[in-house]
Amino acid sequence: MSGFNKFVSMARSPEEKDDAMDRMMGHPEVPDFPPGLTFCFDEVDLEKLDLEDDVEVGDLIHLNIMARVTSVSKKQIDGQDCCRIEMQGELVAVEDESTEDVGDDD
């Protein structure tokens, strides 16, 4: 595997959204980001991550996560190879980028 050292935007392009809309008949709006990229942490999780008092809506959180692959599905749909991988997050490290001091050399 490669590419672990760069961030890639997972936002869907208009073309990708159109393709998704074709596959998701009955859903009038395709989200900008895949729904599988939503992470939810409750107060217990936030305390473990030391974020219980620090996070506000709109903050940017630097998230590192180790996930175990739990399912791999490969098939062909209309002659196109399709692959879906499911993962369970097991280890998480976070940093609130919104509160980080930029340019601090200490």
Domain ranges in the chain?
A: 12-38, 42-98
Chain segment 19-29, per-residue pLDDT in tens = 665 655 555 67
pLDDT in tens, 7-55: 777 788 888 777 665 655 555 676 777 777 888 888 888 888 888 787 8
Tokens at 13, concatenated: 């392009």
Give the whole-number percent of the chain exceeding pLDDT 70. Answer: 75
Whether the model clears a pTM of 0.85, i.e. scores above it, the answer is no
